[in-house]
C-alpha cells in the first residue's frame, strides 16, 4: 500500500512540476511529454529495482545513463535541464523509497520549491540574454557596449563577441543585459537580427 501512495505522490509532484510550473512559464509542449515520460519511466524502473536485491546503485547508474542520452540527443536550455533533472529526481525518490516517509515527501516538495523559486518570473525578471547579429563590425568593446545599450535600451552587464567578420562587416555577439524601466516598447531596429 505504501508504494501506491508513493506513486500517487510522485504523479502529483510531476504534474505540479510540469503543468503548474514549467508549461505556464515556458510553453514548450515537447518537453511536457519528456518530463512526464522520463518521470514515470524512472519511477517504474526504480520501483522495480527498489523491490529487488539489485539495489540503489543500479538505480543511480540508470539516472546517469538516462541523463546522458537525453542531453546528447537534443539541445535544451539550462532552465529546461533543471526541470528535466527534477523530473528524474522525483521519480527516483518515489521509486527507491519503500514507504511514504516525511523525508521522501519533504525531498520531493523541496525539489518543487527550488524550481518554483529559482525559475520564478519575478526573480531577476528584468535580466535578459540574447545572441545578436549586428550589421556592422565593431572592434572596440566599449563602443560595442554603448551601441548595444542604445539599441536595447538596457544596461549591458556582459558582452561576449562570438564572431567578428571584417569582410562582411558583421558582429555576432552574446549579450547579457538588464532592461531599464524607461525602455520604450518598440521593436528591435533593422540592424539587429536576433537568433
| pLDDT, tens only, 109-137 | 999 999 898 888 888 777 888 889 999 89
Domain boundary among 118, 153, 170: 118
Q: What is the pLDDT of residue 148?
A: 92
Handedness of CA 92, 94, 96, 97 (dihedral sign): positive
Give the model's pLDDT for residue 45: 77
Let me know whether 36 and 99 are in one domain: yes
User: Is residue 96 domain-shared with residue 150, that is, in the same domain?
Assistant: no
Task: Identify whether residues 105 and 10 lie together within a single domain.
Answer: yes
Residues 9 and 101 in one domain: yes
Instruction: For residues 90 and 164, state if they share a domain.
Output: no
The cell numbers describing 113, all together, are 520549491
Q: Are residues 108 and 164 in the same domain?
A: no
Average pLDDT, the chain: 81
Whether residues 21 and 114 share a domain: the answer is yes
> What local confidence, expressed as pLDDT, does residue 188 receive?
46
Please check whether residues 84 and 6 belong to one and the same domain.
yes
Indicate if 10 and 81 belong to the same structural domain. yes
Q: Note whether 42 and 62 are within 8 A (CB).
A: yes
Res. 99: pLDDT tops 60? yes
Last residue of a domain, one of 65, 95, 118: 118
Q: What is the pLDDT of residue 195?
A: 41
Element (H, E) at 176: strand 170-179
If one counts the domains in the chain, the total is: 2
> Tens digits of per-residue pLDDT, 131-158?
899 998 988 889 999 999 998 989 998 8
Please give the model's pTM, rounded to 2 decimal places.
0.66
Q: Are residues 136 and 91 in the same domain?
A: no
If you average pLDDT over residues 37-57, what whole number do you get?
74
Predicted confidence at residue 190, as pLDDT, reads 41
Counting residues of the chain whose pLDDT is more than 70, the rounded percentage is 78
Whether residues 19 and 111 share a domain: the answer is yes
Of the residues 100, 118, 136, the one at which a domain ends: 118
Residue linked to cell 508513493 = 6
Same domain as 86, residue 145: no
Enclosing domain of residue 97: 2-118
Amino acid at each position: 500500500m505504501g508504494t501506491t501512495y508513493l506513486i500517487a505522490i510522485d504523479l502529483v509532484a510531476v504534474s505540479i512540476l510540469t503543468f503548474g510550473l514549467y508549461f505556464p512559464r515556458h510553453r514548450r509542449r515537447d518537453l511536457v511529454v519528456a518530463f512526464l515520460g522520463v518521470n514515470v519511466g524512472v519511477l517504474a524502473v526504480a520501483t522495480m529495482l527498489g523491490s529487488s536485491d539489485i539495489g540503489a546503485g543500479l538505480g543511480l547508474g540508470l539516472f546517469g545513463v538516462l541523463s546522458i542520452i537525453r542531453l546528447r540527443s537534443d539541445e535544451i536550455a539550462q532552465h529546461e535541464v533543471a526541470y528535466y533533472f527534477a523530473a528524474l529526481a522525483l521519480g527516483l525518490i518515489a521509486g527507491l523509497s519503500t514507504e511514504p516517509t516525511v523525508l521522501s515527501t519533504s525531498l520531493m516538495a523541496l525539489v518543487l520549491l527550488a524550481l518554483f523559486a529559482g525559475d520564478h518570473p519575478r526573480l531577476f525578471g528584468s535580466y535578459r540574454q540574447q545572441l545578436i547579429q549586428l550589421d556592422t563590425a565593431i572592434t572596440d568593446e566599449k563602443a560595442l557596449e554603448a551601441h548595444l545599450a542604445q539599441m536595447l535600451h538596457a544596461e549591458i552587464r556582459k558582452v561576449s563577441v562570438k564572431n567578428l567578420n571584417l569582410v562582411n562587416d558583421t558582429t555576432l555577439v552574446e549579450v547579457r543585459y538588464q532592461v531599464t524601466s524607461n525602455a520604450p516598447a518598440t521593436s528591435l531596429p533593422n540592424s539587429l537580427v536576433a537568433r
